[in-house]
Amino acid sequence: MNIHSEHSRTRSARLSACFRPDRSDPVMSLFLTAGFPTLEDSLDLILGFEQNGADIIELGMPFSDPLADGPTIQFASQTAIRNGVTISWILDLVREVRKHSSIPIVLMGYLNPLLRYGADRMIRDAADAGVDGFILPDLPVGEMPSIRESIREHGMDLIQLVAPNTSAERMREIDRQSSGFVYCVSVTGVTGAREGEEVSKSVDRFIDRVIENVALNPKMIGFGIKNHENAMQVSKRVDGFIVGSALVEQIRATAMADGHANHAENGQPVADSVETKSSGDWKEELFRFVRHLKFGD
């Protein structure tokens, strides 16, 4: 664990509280696509994740052309879009969460949906709904300063990404421009759960570079974590870990009835005829997976 004391850079009080200096366990951030597997399930999943160990929720804004996402997240995005998810619906979901919970919520997604909604309007409405920050992977470092400034003026954090192929100079610049935490992408490429050997070979060298160059913000590591052992291995020298594809795949595996969540022969996801199993059964199985990620039991 390497919790930093310079949390004045964290504008969201809810996010800042996750990285308190006296914390001894790693922070766990969980990603789920809003509206997946159904609109009705999203609120239950967020609250259930918190009850079973999640410290931060990254709420994915589905987009029809997610270039950096692997087939699992693509499938979830296409399903959510077919379910009728919109930015307005996502913000209403955040408002519902805020009636029950103060867990930090970060919206993650591509610039296109934000720009279509209207950047200034989106940022204002997100702050009003109770959003704590944004992760916008395709927002170029140093560009679109009006978006960056608006997020900060509304008391939210702009969380940016570093990867193994990010230069030391660029890491330092991303650290300066970020707040909340820096998202450390442990494996270069599209998102997806990776095998433990692949993760372990590259992650130590990457973390050395991150520790050397990211000094202003807490550091969260993700992309490839799929079980408790992975999570503990990669987060022992940083502030916490992020689980995305493995969790979404677990939702798909536990929620979808057999034969209703398949991939086409070319590997692209299809989202037709989605049905789900009995709510209580699959959610409890999913929450056991979440508890395992955090606690290992």
Q: How confident is the model at residue 169 (pLDDT cuts 50, 70, 90)?
A: very high
Are 152 and 117 in contact by the 8 Å Cβ rule? The answer is no
For the ranges 185-194, 253-262, 270-279, the lowest mean pLDDT is seen at: 270-279
Residue 296 has pLDDT above 70, yes or no: yes
Look at residue 270 and tell me whether its pLDDT is greater than 50: no
The CA distance from 72 to 247, in Å, is 10
Q: Determine the pLDDT at residue 266.
A: 36
User: What are the structure tokens assigned to 196, written together?
Assistant: 């433990």
Would the pLDDT of 83 be above 70?
yes
Domains along the sequence of the chain with CATH: 26-295 (3.20.20.70)
Please state the pTM of the whole predicted model: 0.88
Relative to beta strand 161-162, strand 56-60 is unpaired
pLDDT at 183 over 60: yes
Asked whether 287 and 52 are in contact (CB, 8 A), the reply is yes
Q: Among 196-200, 208-212, 256-260, which range has the highest average pLDDT? A: 208-212
Tell whether the model's pLDDT for residue 260 goes beyond 80: no
Cα 284-290-293 angle, rounded to 5 deg: 145
Stretch 27-55: mean pLDDT: 97
Q: Which residues pair with 59 in a beta bridge?
A: 32, 107
Does the pLDDT value for residue 189 go beyond 80? Answer: no
Neighbours of 17 (CB within 10 A): 14
Query: Catalytic site residues?
Result: 58, 69
Of the two residues 201 and 107, the one the predictor is more confident about is 107
Mean pLDDT of 89-93: 99
Q: pLDDT digits over 205-248, tens only?
A: 999 999 999 999 999 999 788 899 989 988 999 999 999 999 99
Task: Give the lowest-confidence range in 41-55, 154-168, 261-275.
Answer: 261-275
Per the DSSP assignment, residues forming a β-bridge with 135 are 108, 159
Q: For residues 36 and 251, what is the distance between their CA atoms, to the nearest angstrom?
A: 8
- Please state which of the ranges 93-107, 195-209, 261-275, 282-296 shows the lowest mean pLDDT: 261-275
pLDDT of residue 201: 62
